[in-house]
Amino acid sequence: MQHEQNEAPLLSAHGLSKSFGAVRVLHNVDFEVRAGEVLGILGPNGAGKTTLFNLISGDIRDHGGDIRFRGQPLAGPPFERCRQGIGRTYQIPLPYGAMTTFENLLVAASFGGNMSEAESYDHCAMILEDCDLIRRANTNAGMLTLLDRKRLELARALASKPRLLLLDEIAGGLTEEEGKDLVALIGRIRDSGITIIWIEHVLHALFAVADRLLVLNFGEKIAEGLPAQVIENPEVKRVYMGVEA
C-alpha cells in the first residue's frame, strides 16, 4: 500500500528506551506507521520486540522517549489504550476457556470496545464470520484447536474495533497450510483498512502482507525499509539469518 510522505503517522515512537535493572532492552528506537500500513518487525529472540509492544499497549508503563497515537501522547492503562483504538494479540493465546468462542468476543467488545451488550451481538457475529469461527461460536474456547485459538485471539482483538492492531507472532506453531490460512485472514484485515504492526519469525508470512520491515537487535534498530531491501541488508543477514556478509 502506498502512503503519502506528508501523511501524519497513526503511531510514532521517538527515542524509545526501556531497561529492566541493568539490562537494556530497548535503546533509542524511532519508527512510525501510517494509517492502513502494515509494518513487520523482525529480530532474534531477546531483541526487544515484545517489550516494544508492551510499551505501546500499556502492559509496561515506565520508559524513556515518546509514543504518540493519532498525534497525541499515548498514556493510560491497557484498557484505556484499547478503547482509544489499539488492539493486540499475544504469543500464547489465553482465552476464557470455560466460555464459548462467542462469549469471549462479547467480553472483548463490551470491555475493550466499550459497547453495550445489545449492540455488540451483531458486531461479534460478523467478526466470527470474517475469522472463520462461526462454526465454533458455541464451542468452549478451551476445546479449540491451535489454529482456531489463534483465530480467536485475532477475533478478540478485532472485537474492540481497533484502528491499530498489534500482532505478536500470531503464526507461530502452525503448520504451513494453517499459516497460509492465517496469513489470508490477516490480508483481509489489512484490506479492511486496519493498520497493523506484526512481529513474526515466519518470513514468508510477513512478505505476503507487510509494506515495510523494521529489524531490531539487542534493543536497537538496525534496518528499516521495503521488505526486499531490508532482507538484503548485510547486517540483517548477519544478525538475524546467521549469514556472514
| Calpha distance 5→2 (Å, rounded) | 9
| Calpha distance 57→183 (Å, rounded) | 23
Asked if the model's pLDDT at residue 36 lies above 70, the reply is: yes
Q: Decide if 82 contacts 112 (C-beta within 8 A).
A: yes
Q: What is the pLDDT of residues 118-177, one digit of tens each?
A: 889 999 999 999 999 999 999 999 999 999 999 999 999 999 999 999 999 998 899 999
- The CA distances from residue 107 to 46, 101, 102, 116, 130, in Å, are 32, 10, 9, 10, 18
Of 199, 235, 191, nearest to 217 by C-alpha is 235
Task: Please give the pLDDT value at position 32.
Answer: 97
| Calpha distance 127→109 (Å, rounded) | 11
**Rounded percentage of the chain residues whose pLDDT exceeds 70:** 95
What is the separation of C-alpha 69 from the centre of its chain, rounded to a whole number of angstroms? 15
Task: Please give the pLDDT value at position 172.
Answer: 87
pLDDT band of 240, cuts 50, 70, 90: low
Place of cell 479449540: 144
Asked if the model's pLDDT at residue 83 lies above 90, the reply is: yes
pLDDT band of 27, cuts 50, 70, 90: very high
Q: Whats the size of the chain, residue-wise?
A: 245
Q: Give the number of other CB atoms < 10 A from CB of residue 240.
A: 22
| Calpha distance 92→32 (Å, rounded) | 26
Judged by average pLDDT, the poorest of 68-72, 77-81, 237-241 is 237-241
Asked if the model's pLDDT at residue 87 lies above 90, the reply is: yes
Which has the higher per-residue pLDDT, 194 or 63? 194
- The CA distances from residue 157 to 68, 103, 238, in Å, are 20, 14, 35
> Going by C-beta distance under 8 Å and a sequence separation of 6 or more, which residues neighbour residue 60?
18, 51, 54
Supply 71's cell numbers: 498525534
Give pTM, 2 decimals.
Answer: 0.92
Task: Please give the pLDDT value at position 245.
Answer: 43
What is the separation of C-alpha 11 from the centre of its chain, rounded to a whole number of angstroms? 13
Q: Give the number of C-alpha atoms closer than 13 A to the C-alpha of residue 28, restricted to the C-beta side.
A: 1
Q: Decide if 200 contacts 207 (C-beta within 8 A).
A: no
pLDDT band of 243, cuts 50, 70, 90: low
Asked if the model's pLDDT at residue 203 lies above 90, the reply is: no
Helix (H) / strand (E) element for 26: namely strand 23-33
Q: Give the number of other CB atoms < 10 A from CB of residue 117.
A: 10
